[in-house]
Amino acid sequence: MLKRMSWMRWAVAVMTVLVMALLAWQCIDIYLDGNAPSNLDANGVHLSPVYSVEIVAARLQALMPVLILYMLLVLAALVMETAAGTAPAQRTALTPQNRLRLMKARVAELPEAARAEERVRKLLCSAITVVVLCDAALCLAYLLNGKFFVSWDLEMVMGQMLRHVAPLVLVAFATVIAASYAFDASVEREIAALKDAPKAAPQDKAAVRRIPTNAVRVLLYAVAAVFIMLGVMNGGLRDVLVKAINICTECIGLG
């Protein structure tokens, strides 16, 4: 059952990317056809609208078999997820990250292979952060540049924006997805390296220092009460009441 669920999730993911790519391509193709020289007069005015209801409906009609297949696939995945949701294995399964934390707590010392995988993940996170920030900076540099948005031809402006911004967004998403798979693979390799590591001696529960949660709560309550009293004494209560009255009578319009 778990193997079938894994294959179904992969199928839904691949189909989702395919449907998104097809829809994006149809939007770009409609835009290119609508701005072709054959659809422009001598003054550059469109002879027919670029995005009309009839054009969009015709393009969607061509994609209808793919969309129906996608909806059926999603429905089948939801039914399988619902049927498998009550299985004990599904409720008690640990993620690789949680398994790694538990195994780290049980070993006496991390082997060099595990430390190497930790360094790989840190470098991976740093690299993905740099890539995403660079893409975001380039997108903002375009979006905040007013010279790209001076024309009244909205379709032309949006088309240029998509050509400049969409590739950067796709690169950022693709990089994040690839880094996520690489991160999970690194976690699995570290788990395999920790299986042969020497186990730590069991720790005496009595020697474990517990945080006095009740004392912390009492301290926080006391601090809150002191600040409330200080606010009442310095006139803060009156300020809050006046602001509440002004909101009701001026902003909302009551009274």
Residue 189: helix, strand or coil by DSSP?
Answer: helix
User: Rounded CA gap, 191 and 57, in Å?
Assistant: 52
Confirm if 182 and 117 have CB atoms less than 8 A apart. Answer: no
Same domain, residue pair 124 and 68: no
Q: Angle CA(22)–CA(23)–CA(29) in degrees, nearest 5?
A: 85
- Which stretches of the chain drop beneath a pLDDT of 70? 1-2, 84-93, 200-211, 250-255
Structural domain including 234 reads: 210-252
C-alpha R_g of the chain: 30
Other Cβ atoms less than 10 A from the Cβ of 59: the count is 17
Looking at the fold, whether 81 and 135 belong to one and the same domain comes out as: no
Instruction: Express each pLDDT in 12-29 by its tens digit.
Output: 888 898 988 888 888 888
- Same-domain pairing of 13 and 102: no
Mark whether 87 and 105 lie in a shared domain: no
Q: State residue 228's pLDDT score.
A: 83
CA distances in angstroms from 78 to 4, 75, 90, 95, listed in the order given? 13, 5, 15, 21
Domain boundary among 73, 93, 113: 93
Residue-wise pLDDT for 127-183, tens only, equals 999 999 999 999 898 888 888 877 777 777 787 888 888 889 999 999 999 988 898
Task: Write out 147-176 in H/E/C secondary structure.
Answer: HHHCCCCHHHHHHHHHHHHHHHHHHHHHHH
Please state whether the predicted TM-score (pTM) of the whole model is above 0.75. Answer: no
Interatomic CA distance for residues 162 and 30, integer angstroms: 14
Nearest to 90 by CA among 206, 188, 186, 1: 1
CA nearest to 181, candidates 77, 96, 102: 96
Q: Is 165 in the same domain as 219? A: no
CB 197 within 8 A of CB 110: yes
Task: Round to whole Å and give the CA distance between 121 and 116.
Answer: 9
Task: Say if CB 2 and CB 89 are below 8 A apart.
Answer: yes
Regarding whether 241 and 184 lie in a shared domain, the answer is no
Query: For residue 88, what pLDDT is reported?
Result: 47
Total domains present in the chain:
3
Residues 43 and 22 in one domain: yes
Question: Is there a single domain that holds both residue 8 and residue 86?
Answer: yes
Residues 240, 156, single domain; the answer is: no
Is residue 201 located within the same domain as residue 243?
A: no
Are residues 134 and 229 located together in one domain of the fold? no
Distance CA 104, CA 108 (A): 8
- Whether residue 219 is found in the same domain as residue 200: no
pLDDT at residue 52, as a whole number: 78
